[in-house]
Chains A and B, each alone.
Chain A
Amino acid sequence: MVKRREGKALLVGLGGLGCPAAWTLARSGVGVLGLCDEDEVELSNLHRQVLYGRADVGASKLDSAELALKAISPSIELRRHSTRLVPENAIEIVRGYDVVIEGADNFATKFLTADACALAGVPVVHAAAVRWVGTAFAVGMRGRPCYRCLFEDLPPGEPFGCREAGVMGPVVGIVAAAQAELALAILDGSDVEGQLVTFDGRQGGFRRRSISARAQCPLCGTRSIHTIETKRYAPPECAN
């Protein structure tokens, strides 16, 4: 078990999920936060990316997040990774953290984070939100079940993404809170592996399920994925 003040958590993406998750982890006393993003703050981010204000538009997310998080917790150690997570750097970046909080807005980064964490032996909590619905999924220390047990591979194109569909600010905040709660549970040594939390803001709130590992999962079952290969993170041709 990692003591929370000694805990090291990496945020992959400082967007609508990463901002409120980082805010929660900083206020919860996590000792080290890694921040991995290379984007700048845009006006359209502000309704849900709660670490930034109007004065931050045009500034780097890392700079703005660092100021906001230091204001919350002056003693927190922040580690900057001014880059996207890509196949060439993924394992090197995730290694050394006790838990990874993945809130990427594309499937390639989600699957890359899943694979890199499994290969580096680092627990990860994945989350996503589109319109009124969102999910958070915890992969524990054993790495099984994993994201590829839940969703086997990249969808063709980006059929269920937020770019066209949009995302509701309160929904993404709620899902990020669930994601942070799962990450804190991992740091505290609680058994949350395989827990899938779904939230639907219009249909009936939260639902929590335990996911089973798939025997044929290429990442944690047959283990046929044992290296990071760039071509694996290109989505297949869209069938439609």
Chain B
Amino acid sequence: MDTMIRIPTPLRTLTSGADEVTVTGTTVAEAIEDLERKHPGIRERLLDDKGIRRFINLYVGEEDVRFLDGLRTTLKPGDEISIVPAIAGG
């Protein structure tokens, strides 16, 4: 199943400038694994050995996956994953 991941500006250096990437997977974890296959190096910007990094939020639609089932959150057709990193600047 295909899912679109929206890539925020600070991480687009890792996706050759792409602002969205279509991945396959039935869970958020699988989607990120496919994202890593397509754009090596991005997984470590999102995850550490404890799971989602403390300054990253992942949303499926409008829901923070921390309040769903974390990386095990299942994806439905049409779902979209958004990455909201902590940023400082202005």
Q: Which chain B residues lie closer than 8 Å to A85 at the CB level?
A: none
A176 CB within 8 Å of chain B: yes
- Partner-contacting stretch, out of B5-13, B21-29, B69-77: B5-13
A69 CB → nearest B CB, Å: 18
Interface centre among B20, B44, B82 (most CB of A within 10 A): B82
A83 CB within 8 Å of chain B: no
By the criterion CB–CB under 8 Å, are B9 and A132 in contact? yes
Nearest-CB residue, chain A, relative to B84? A198
By the criterion CB–CB under 8 Å, are A15 and B55 in contact? no
How many chain A residues touch the partner (CB < 8 A)? 50
- Partner-contacting stretch, out of A24-32, A58-66, A87-95, A209-217: A209-217
Contact partner, B90, options A128, A207, A211, A212, Cβ 8 Å: A128
A134 CB → nearest B CB, Å: 8
Q: Which chain A residues lie closer than 8 Å to B62 at the CB level?
A: 209
C-beta contact mask, B9-44 vs A, less than 8 Å → 1, else 0? 110000000011000000000000000000000001
Contact partner, B55, options A127, A132, A151, Cβ 8 Å: A151
By the criterion CB–CB under 8 Å, are B19 and A172 in contact? no
Q: Which chain A residues lie closer than 8 Å to B55 at the CB level?
A: 107, 151-155, 159-160
By the criterion CB–CB under 8 Å, are A131 and B67 in contact? no
A46 CB within 8 Å of chain B: no
C-beta contact mask, A155-185 vs B, less than 8 Å → 1, else 0? 1001111110101000010011000000000
Nearest-CB residue, chain B, relative to A48? B90
By the criterion CB–CB under 8 Å, are B10 and A160 in contact? yes
B2 CB within 8 Å of chain A: no
Q: A13 with B87: in contact, given A165-B10, A203-B19, A203-B20 (CB under 8 Å)?
A: no
21 of the cross-chain contacts (CB-CB < 8 Å) are: A18-B90, A48-B90, A104-B88, A107-B55, A110-B88, A128-B86, A128-B87, A128-B90, A130-B9, A131-B9, A132-B9, A133-B9, A135-B84, A152-B54, A153-B55, A155-B54, A159-B85, A160-B85, A161-B89, A165-B89, A203-B19
18 new A-B contacts, CB < 8 A, other than A159-B55, A167-B89, A176-B90, are: A17-B90, A48-B90, A103-B90, A110-B88, A128-B90, A131-B10, A135-B87, A151-B57, A155-B53, A155-B54, A155-B55, A160-B89, A161-B89, A163-B89, A165-B89, A172-B90, A175-B90, A200-B19
Q: Could you list which residues of chain B lie within 8 angstroms of chain A, going by C-beta atoms?
A: 6, 8-10, 19-20, 44-45, 48, 53-55, 57, 59, 62, 64, 66-67, 82, 84-90
Q: Could you list which residues of chain A lie within 8 angstroms of chain B, going by C-beta atoms?
A: 13, 15-18, 48, 103-107, 110, 127-135, 150-155, 158-163, 165, 167, 172, 175-176, 196, 198, 200, 202-203, 207, 209, 211-212, 214, 239-240
